[in-house]
Amino acid sequence: MKQAPSSRISGLIYRLADFLSDWRGFVATFVALMVGIGIGAAMQFNEGFMFAFNIFLSVAAIVISGVILVAGARSEAALHVKLDYLIEHSPATNKVVGLEHLDAREIEEERKRVEQEAAEAIDDAMEDAGLKRH
């Protein structure tokens, strides 16, 4: 079966992200930078070289940023699935599954509600133990 073009592109992006995220990617990036500086020194950092090198560095930075964002989104999605699975199979409430799909205001409201419930539970436990909260 033929692989979809988007799947091939995604695979390429993930392989590039994996490469850039280990020591080989760092060394390759550093060597490319040093080679560029060496060529620039040999050409006495003339205007044409500096323009081309600047464009190259800008494009590389944009591409690497995009790769990092895509890989990060993939990793975050995997973590959400793992957390949802753990929440679903734990004795805790399942109300927070899918929380990441809410907007920032709704998430903040939920955070405050959970903190309030936790504070009340602590107060109740301390009261049952005959202790006072400071």
43: amino acid identity, one letter: M
pLDDT 10s digits, 43-60: 999 999 999 999 999 999
Q: What is the pLDDT of residue 31?
A: 95
Rounded to 10 deg, the angle between the 47-88 and 23-42 helix axes is 170
Distances in Å between the alpha carbon of 32 and those of 23, 26, 60, 106?
14, 10, 11, 46
What mean pLDDT is predicted for residues 84-95?
74
Q: Is the pTM of this model over 0.95?
A: no
Domain ranges, ordered by start, for the chain = 5-74
Q: How far apart are CA 32 and CA 70, in angstroms?
A: 23
**Mean of per-residue pLDDT scores for the chain:** 85
